[in-house]
A and B are shown apart, each in its own frame.
Chain A
Amino acid sequence: MKIVEGIYYSKDHEWIKVEGNEASIGITDYAQHALGEIVYVEMPEVDDELNAGDVFGVIESVKAASDSYMPVSGKITGINEELEDSPELLNNSPYESWILKVEISDLSELDSLMDHEDYKAFCESESH
């Protein structure tokens, strides 16, 4: 299982890459493994305002639909339209395939997220 350094992770297995006030959000390698083959991604609209913990989208595998949650609060500034036709990118390259971009409203929320080492330990505890 791949875990990338220098980005944040949530307990719902989303990753967040922060640049200034803006962040890209995707799902982790652990999450895509657990979901299986991803066949559809339902995304929010640009300009939607969402709070940390809100459902921002639904990722559907062959077998089931799973909610994805906002790790931070903010306004959606972009969605990855490529995923509409090629949802399998989330399986093939989870860390290169962002799902949405968000303008973070409260940077202090990042403190409640995990770094790569904490996330690694978290995944190990989840698998047992």
Chain B
Amino acid sequence: MSNLKRTALFNAHGKHGGKIIDFSGWELPVQYEGITPEHEATRNKAGLFDVSHMGEVEVKGKDAFKFVQNLVTNDVSALEDNQVLYTFMCYEDGGVVDDLLVYRFNEEHFFLVINASNVDKDFDWMKKNSDGYDIDVVNISEALSQLAIQGPHAQEILQKLTDTDLTEIKFFYCKRNVNVAGASCLVSRTGYTGEDGFEIYLDHDNAEMVWEKLMEEGKDLGLRPVGLGARDTLRFEATLPLYGNELTKDITPLEAGLGFFVKLDTDDFIGKEALVKQKAEGLKRKIVGFEMLDKGIPRHGYEVWADGKEIGFVTTGYAAPTVKKNIGFAMVPIEYSKLGTPIEIKVRKRILKAQVVSKRFYTKNYKK
């Protein structure tokens, strides 16, 4: 794995028993002790994640707001300083370039958090669309480490390492220059698990120290390090989409069922015209939730069948650890999208019975 990138926490992962895999060019732990115990620790106590592979782009300058508003589908004008927004960048045809978090520091300074596997593509897209704006767009992905502490005990554990009153950081807000164990951090109340928690951005030099302090302070409260395996089961169960699964250049956010993050009544943004048209004409297909009725586990990429023919594909599927069911998301024609519709999943050679169900597999525990 010599060409792979390592995060500043590589040694810490080894120390805590992380099983390292190649993830989008990064050497990262898929699990430590096991996906299920890590998943359950995050739901019931707290989990600590190394998400340093995520990309970050800074947008600074007089036209920063105007640029970001044109770049993404959600309404950036509704943001206060230090508020965070979940949104998409779309191509002209409505397909998704990436999903991202937009942090507004002030009208002339935004901070965008993007997916590791999309950093180069996203940055090129931003640069390409920045002509005519008085801004600097800087890819700072290599400069930052990122930790996430998630779960019902996340606040209590992190509070032990900072004088900042964490109750002041509301859901989807951030605070800059928070002193965590002596390191200056950007702390936001965000995450990718469906639980309350924080994402912490800091320089590489302090990353391992903060990780170890959190592990130390969190020990009695049940904090465990969590790998990419449980990160995926947690986000899936909480109905949070993943780029490459529910979101791709060939799927629009409306088809993904994420129209809430697309504000078609705001100013122009890239892809708006295509999405307005798609909405007006009505969706022809849509991502739904489903539950297996026969025994068998659905997986990403499996065929969906109905009425004796292939009708769609599974975008994510698991034996879900908390809800304890074999469930998935699948792209199906709109006429098969109603709750209760019988569908079939081709699990290897066998066609197994399933049924369309609500995508709300798990009720999120955010503190708002």
Which of A's residues lie within 8 Å of B, judged by CB?
A: 36-37, 39-40, 42, 58, 60-65, 84
**Chain A binder among B43-51, B100-108, B238-246, B294-302:** B294-302
- Cβ contact of A40, chosen from B232, B233, B319, cutoff 8 A: B319
B30 to A63, Cβ gap below 8 A?
Answer: yes
Smallest distance from the beta carbon of B12 to chain A beta carbons, Å?
21
Give the interface size bracket for B toward A: 10 to 19
**Chain A binder among B31-39, B58-66, B86-94, B114-122:** B31-39
Smallest distance from the beta carbon of B363 to chain A beta carbons, Å?
21
Q: For residues 1 through 50 of chain B, which have their beta carbon under 8 Å from a beta carbon of chain A?
A: 30-31, 34-36
In the complex the two chains form, what is the Cα distance from A84 to B294 in whole Å? Answer: 12
B348 to A37, Cβ gap below 8 A?
Answer: no
- Cβ contact of B295, chosen from A36, A62, A64, A84, cutoff 8 A: A84
User: Could you list some 7 contacts between A and B, CB below 8 A?
Assistant: A40-B319, A42-B348, A60-B319, A62-B321, A63-B30, A63-B229, A65-B348
Answer yes or no: B192 CB below 8 A from chain A CBs. Answer: no
Q: For residues 281 through 329 of chain B, which have their beta carbon under 8 Å from a beta carbon of chain A?
A: 295-297, 299, 318-319, 321, 326
- Cβ contact of A65, chosen from B232, B295, B297, cutoff 8 A: B297
Apart from A36-B35, A60-B319, A61-B35, list 17 A-B contacts with CB within 8 A. A36-B31, A36-B229, A37-B35, A37-B36, A40-B295, A40-B296, A40-B297, A40-B326, A42-B296, A58-B348, A60-B297, A62-B229, A62-B319, A63-B229, A63-B232, A65-B297, A65-B299
Smallest distance from the beta carbon of A32 to chain B beta carbons, Å?
11
Contacts of A40 in B (CB 8 A): 295-297, 319, 326
Most buried by B among A37, A40, A63, A84: A63
In the complex the two chains form, what is the Cα distance from A65 to B321 in whole Å? Answer: 16
Smallest distance from the beta carbon of A83 to chain B beta carbons, Å?
11
- Cβ contact of B318, chosen from A36, A42, A62, A84, cutoff 8 A: A62
Contacts of B232 in A (CB 8 A): 63
Across the interface, name the chain B residue whose C-beta is closest to A55: B348
Q: For residues 156 through 189 of chain B, which have their beta carbon under 8 Å from a beta carbon of chain A?
A: none
